[in-house]
Structure 1
Amino acid sequence: MNKQIKFYKYQGTGNDFVMIDNRDLEFPKSTDFIEKLCDRRFGIGGDGLILLENDEKSDFKMVYYNSDGNESTMCGNGGRCIVAFAHFLDIFEDKTTFDAIDGLHKAEIKNGIVKLKMIDVKNISTDGNDFVLNTGSPHYVKYVKMLNNYNVFKNGNEIRNSETYKKEGINVNFVETVSDNELFVRTYERGVEDETYSCGTGVTAAALTFMDKNNQTSVAVKVLGGQLKVYAEKNGEGFTDIWLEGPANQVFKGDIAL
């Protein structure tokens, strides 16, 4: 009889993840197996897979894999979802600190809304129209018009696979200004190699470029999967005290054969 493992499915504004409690360290970290679990036809389906593990210096550790099975850089919505998962597992009450690939993160949860503190951003590179910055993952930000009808897959794929970014890869965010305090963001994600319904580090990157230009400390962000909000404080050429806020929910749970 095949051994079964318990999994949980979480989503944060449509960014969905297979979540595994791996505090016993029994999950097989195989690229092919993780890719299969994330497959929407032959597995559970998800933009990525996240392992929750024990950590010596914080409440828990987040280990994140893209849907191609490779361990990846920080995922903002995944970070919010693992906070909701850890809360479900009774690891903490309302506030927590956890470790991720880019360092320690503070977070809090209330009524299904998770606020996640992101890493400080030291600088934003720009040529006047487009921006490049790292919010835990590398992001390219491009402002466009009529984003509803914009070909995100084609244009995002071209930038991600351009000579400059092909080797390391970059996430590509297309941004439209909705009002003085709201943006609309659509993202092509490396590792997924497609548009996703939402990207937390991408929303953060887009928000910071907007706040930098408009001298603001918060902005609402519309994504295909819902609404998020970003708060930050300007500090020299960059930003500190950056928080990403939005819903994170358990969708279903089950068992799957190893």
Structure 2
Amino acid sequence: MTGAGNDFIMFDNRNGKIKNPVELAKWVCDRHFGVGADGIILIEKSEIADFKMVYFNSDGSFGGMCGNGGRCVAKLAFILGISKGKTTFEANGKLYHAEIIDEQKVKLFLPFPQTKKLNLKLKLGKKFFKAHFIDTGAPHLVVFTDENSIKNIEKINVNQLGRKLRYHPKFENGTNVNFVAVIDNETIRMRTYERGVEGETLACGTGSVASAIASVEIKNLNLPLKVKTSSGEILTIFYDRNKSQPEFVSLEGSVKIICEGTLNYET
């Protein structure tokens, strides 16, 4: 499945057949020797929700929460008859809500982030970068191009600069890195270096949420805010700005099934 350009290999693991998802993710996500994807997502049984989502990055590392993956898994659960048009699922110890909008779009509601560290100054060599850290279920660094004298977001070497910021010593467990340029009061352009994938991805749901929140709070942009991803698709972010501490932030965009099949895999 793909969610706005993030692609995932999905497994219904409610029978517990998959015992070693780490090695499975490494193999099946390889774009030359496996199927190829940004990560794998398992649907598992939950005692507190309709189902549990378990996400692993393509390098086998545990991914925590993934926004576009959450929208994909909500659509798959609907197709499998696990849930109705609206669902609640468990992921990384938290509850998430999702709603099927139509055949193409799914909206995911994430808890509004509690951890925000704005206006950080990060030193890389002789240079300082101004950045903003927001944890949206996954850790994200937001770097505005205009705050760092970057004239053209499309010319950034995301894999090179993103990797350096991703491993910055300030972040003990590393972080995802989002480069953001403001297009207008209702639209931003975002490019993301994702940890676990260890490179630029075509989209990032939790990164879009972090980038949108930073854009609203730092740049005073309007909601709902459109995020133009590297896939060319638009993700739409909304939360109630009138509340000092909103309960949820929503992420809406496309979800598509690419193919279905049987995987020949020997553990």
Whether these two folds match at TM > 0.5 is yes
Could you tell me which of 171, 174, 184 is aligned with 1:169?
A: 174
Deviation, 1:54, is 1.5
Could you tell me which residue of structure 2 aligns to residue 6 of structure 1?
Answer: none
Deviation, 1:149, is 1.5
Could you tell me which residue of structure 1 aligns to residue 207 of structure 2?
Answer: 202
1:248 matches 2:255: yes
Does the 8 Å CA contact 1:34/1:67 hold for their aligned counterparts? yes
What amino acid is the match of 1:159? L
Q: Which has the higher strand share?
A: 1
Q: SS where residue 41 of structure 2 aligns? A: strand
Q: SS where residue 252 of structure 1 aligns? A: coil
1:85-122 CA distance string (max 9 Å, x none): 11111222211111111411111012221000012212
Could you tell me which residue of structure 2 aligns to residue 71 of structure 1?
Answer: 62
In structure 1, list runs of 5 or more residues that go unmatched: 1-9
What amino acid is the match of 2:22? T
Distance 1:217 1:223 in 2: 17
Could you tell me which residue of structure 1 aligns to residue 234 of structure 2?
Answer: 227
Q: SS where residue 158 of structure 1 aligns? A: helix
Deviation, 1:174, is 0.2
1:169-211 CA distance string (max 9 Å, x none): 1000000001110000000000110000001000000000111
What amino acid is the match of 1:120? F
Deviation, 1:79, is 0.3
Does the 8 Å CA contact 1:49/1:66 hold for their aligned counterparts? yes
Change in 2 beyond 3 A, CA 1:40/1:49: same
Does the 8 Å CA contact 2:21/2:56 hold for their aligned counterparts? no
1:182 matches 2:182: no
1:49-128 to 2 correspondences below 5 Å = 49-111=40-102, 112-127=104-119
The total of aligned residue pairs comes to 247
Q: SS where residue 178 of structure 2 aligns? A: strand
Deviation, 1:241, is 2.1
Does the 8 Å CA contact 1:131/1:141 hold for their aligned counterparts? yes
Distance 1:256 1:13 in 2: 24
What amino acid is the match of 2:252? E
Distance 2:240 2:209 in 1: 13
Distance 1:252 1:169 in 2: 33
Distance 2:179 2:207 in 1: 9
Distance 1:48 1:168 in 2: 19
Q: SS where residue 118 of structure 1 aligns? A: strand
Could you tell me which residue of structure 1 aligns to residue 124 of structure 2?
Answer: none
Distance 1:102 1:135 in 2: 13
Could you tell me which residue of structure 2 aligns to residue 31 of structure 1?
Answer: 22
Q: SS where residue 261 of structure 2 aligns? A: strand
In structure 2, list runs of 5 or more residues that go unmatched: 121-129, 146-150
1:189-239 CA distance string (max 9 Å, x none): 001100000010000000001111316332011001211000012343x54
Report sequence identity in percent. 38
Q: SS where residue 250 of structure 1 aligns? A: coil
Does the 8 Å CA contact 2:75/2:100 hold for their aligned counterparts? yes
Does the 8 Å CA contact 1:122/1:239 hold for their aligned counterparts? no
Does the 8 Å CA contact 1:211/1:218 hold for their aligned counterparts? no
Distance 1:19 1:60 in 2: 14
Does the 8 Å CA contact 1:31/1:70 hold for their aligned counterparts? yes
Could you tell me which of 136, 160, 163 is aligned with 2:166?
A: 160
Q: Please, what TM-score do these two structures have when normalized by structure 1?
A: 0.91
Does the 8 Å CA contact 1:102/1:119 hold for their aligned counterparts? no
Distance 2:236 2:94 in 1: 22
